[in-house]
Amino acid sequence: MIDVTRWSRLFAGQPQSIGDARAFARALVVDRAPDDLVRTVELVVSELCTNAVEHTASGEDGGEFVLELEVQCGHVRVGVLDMGAQTRPAVSDQASGSDVISGRGLFIVEAVSKAWGSEPIRVGRRVWADVVGMPV
């Protein structure tokens, strides 16, 4: 039997909540994963939460998002549930340019994750990423 631990937390859809979400993830993962995996999880949480706040209804007045973490030996699935947007998340064709200031979030997530994706949910969309490292 594989030991899987799951957590989730609701955050206000505000920029300052991104740091809170990153700290929440770190606190839950730090004793369960090697340092490189913890840092990668923090990065992915930061990018996905930023996208929710900047590009979906979660960032509007009264908006919220949910951070989900699913941890098992050497693997963390990060999920962010947002309140929806007119468009689907996609990696920008121009995200790899050296002069690009924004729009790199999913490009980064794709680069550091084993896989990522999104799916519609009743209240909006879930964007997830699988982060894999060496077991402790």
| Domains of the chain in sequence order | 5-132 (3.30.565.10)
Of residues 3 and 94, more confidently modeled: 3
For the segment 125-129, the average pLDDT, to the nearest whole number, is 98
Pick 86 or 44 by higher pLDDT. 44
Please compute the mean of the pLDDT values over residues 85-97 and round it to a whole number: 73
Coil, helix or strand at residue 1: coil
Measured CA to CA, the distance from residue 58 to residue 94 in angstroms comes to: 25
Give the containing element (helix H, strand E) for 41.
helix 35-55
Note the pLDDT tens digit of each residue in 39-54: 999 999 999 999 999 9
The residues pairing with 8 across neighbouring beta strands, listed in sequence order, are: 68
Q: Quick check: 110 pLDDT over 60?
A: yes
Would you state the pLDDT for residue 103?
Answer: 60
Q: What percent of the chain has pLDDT over 70?
A: 89
Average pLDDT over residues 110-134: 93
Q: Which residues of 5-34 are buried (b: 16+ CB within 10 A; e: fewer)?
A: eeeeeebebeeebbeebbebbeebbeebbe
| pTM attached to this predicted model | 0.89
- Which tops the pLDDT comparison, 133 or 109? 109
How far is the C-alpha of 133 from the C-alpha of 83, rounded, in Å?
30
pLDDT averaged over the chain?
89
Give the three-state DSSP class for 6.
Answer: strand
Q: Which of 35, 127, 40 is nearest to 89 (CA)?
A: 127
Q: What is the Cα 77 distance to its own chain's centre?
A: 9
Torsion sign (Cα): 84, 88, 94, 96: positive
Q: How confident is the model at residue 94 (pLDDT cuts 50, 70, 90)?
A: low
| Whether pLDDT at 83 is above 70 | yes
